[in-house]
Structure 1
Amino acid sequence: MAKTQTVDTPAGPARITWFPGKKAQLVLAVSHGAGGGIEARDLQALAAELPAQGVTVALVEQPWRVAGKKVAPAPKTLDTGWRALWPALREPGLPVIAGGRSAGARVACRTAKELGAHAVLALSFPLHPPGKPEKSRAEELLDSGVPTLVVQGGNDPFGKPAEFPEDGSYELVEVPYGDHGFAVPKRAEIGQEEAVALITNAVAAWVKGLRG
């Protein structure tokens, strides 16, 4: 059964919703993006599927979201909130995978080495603003310094899989036809449930590899 925890941060109160894993060996802490919350389809699917596989999932709501604001603050403020949450995420005494979708993925990458994250899960990493590939954020991803998995929609306007650098420092899984929220059009060769299952299966297999 899920339980919620409020954590005070310099940016205001944040919230963690815990989904305890069965004989958990890892914590997967995942934050939302700049335009939504933990109700995102990929975050909810991970919280539903991974606990049965020995992973405690912690869905993290940044202070701005808890306060009911509609616009995310600057990246520096997001990083501040995430750092302040880290001790609570480590409280179970297990290795913590830092994760997030979109802006949350950038936060996880930027702070991974500093916080001692076991790995990084980047869902819908915003490689660049839509229509502006010259404003690349690849350096944030490449500098995570820990094992990193990117799960990216095939039609994500913030960066299609083929646009990502091929340097071998991270793994990338494509969700065919998926947009930034992993929604697939009705005309796609895969359905929405199949797309979500692809995400959860890929993350579960990657996590299993991290455990050895």
Structure 2
Amino acid sequence: MTPTEEIITPHGPAGVELDRPVGPPAALLVLGHGAGGGVDAPDLLALRDAALAAGLVVARVTQPYRLAGRRAPAPARQLDVAWTVVLSVLRARCPGVPLVVGGRSSGARVACRTADAVGAAGVVALAFPLHPPGRPERSRAAELPVSVPTLVVNGDRDPFGTPVAAVPTVSVITRPGERHELRKDPLGTAAVVLDWLRAGGWTGPPDRSSRGVTPSDCADEA
């Protein structure tokens, strides 16, 4: 298992599991988890593996409330602050490479809300929860960035709904037969994201993956 580091935030320690490829990284990809889930969700693990093989450093961030053992998510402001603090630490360790942020569900919302503030080059939003189930009037579409290239990947059976690409910076791909968990074909979901990362110029040569490197080693290769 990849070593976990704790990074102190104003709302408690956050956890970081970081993997990097062999050789200089092409970009830094930072991913957050769903509200009641963790960073070992199938879609996040599949994306980690695909991104590593494409030459990206991949960091999966556990929010303080989850690291403390709570399932109920913290308020949005606390999530955003903790995420931003972790991102500042990771960027300092991996200077000189583009930053792509993302996550699934709640983690996707955090990444979208803070994309401008952290200077992200792109956003990957897996299972973006457009609205609470059965409440389409409570749309969260306004959280999608308008100035940062954003990829939304949702299932066509997601009860939380699927956004539409209302601005040119947002691309939406709907995965057939998938629900909110995106568990049916995580490798296919990862392939979709990898194509988008490649089109953005955020990948390197293939088959460079290597795991088991601690977060402090990232700066050595950057």
TM-score normalised per structure 2:
0.85
The answer to whether residue 72 in structure 2 is matched with residue 71 in structure 1 is yes
Deviation at 1:165, TM superposition (A): 4.6
Deviation at 1:2, TM superposition (A): 3.0
The answer to whether residue 102 in structure 2 is matched with residue 99 in structure 1 is yes
Deviation at 1:60, TM superposition (A): 0.5
The answer to whether residue 148 in structure 2 is matched with residue 171 in structure 1 is no
Give the corresponding residue for 1:53.
54
Deviation at 1:154, TM superposition (A): 1.0
Which structure has more relative contact order (CA 8 Å, sep 6+)? It is 2
Q: Report SS of the residue matched to 1:136.
A: coil
Q: Report SS of the residue matched to 1:204.
A: helix
Give the corresponding residue for 2:192.
202
Deviation at 1:197, TM superposition (A): 1.9
Give the corresponding residue for 1:157.
159
Q: State the Cα deviation string for residues 160-179 of structure 1 (Å, max 9, x = none).
A: 3xx52543331112111111
Q: Does the aligned pair in 2 maintain the 1:2–1:18 contact within 8 Å?
A: yes
Q: State the Cα deviation string for residues 84-105 of structure 1 (Å, max 9, x = none).
A: 1012221211221111111111
Q: Does the aligned pair in 1 maintain the 2:15–2:61 contact within 8 Å?
A: yes
Q: Report SS of the residue matched to 2:178.
A: coil
Counterpart mapping for 1:1-212 below 5 A:
2-23=2-23, 24-90=25-91, 91-93=93-95, 94-141=97-144, 143-160=145-162, 164-183=164-183, 192=184, 195-211=185-201
Structure 2: tracts of 5 or more residues without a match = 203-222
Q: State the Cα deviation string for residues 107-136 of structure 1 (Å, max 9, x = none).
A: 111111111011111010010010000110
Q: 2:153 is matched by which residue type in structure 1?
A: V
Q: Does the aligned pair in 2 maintain the 1:22–1:53 contact within 8 Å?
A: no
Q: Report SS of the residue matched to 1:114.
A: helix
Deviation at 1:58, TM superposition (A): 0.6
TM-score normalised per structure 1:
0.89
Q: Report SS of the residue matched to 2:124.
A: strand
Q: 1:62 is matched by which residue type in structure 2?
A: Q
Q: Does the aligned pair in 1 maintain the 2:27–2:56 contact within 8 Å?
A: yes
Structure 1: tracts of 5 or more residues without a match = 184-191
RMSD: 1.5
Q: Distance in 1 between matches of 2:195 and 2:71?
A: 34
Q: Report SS of the residue matched to 1:36.
A: coil
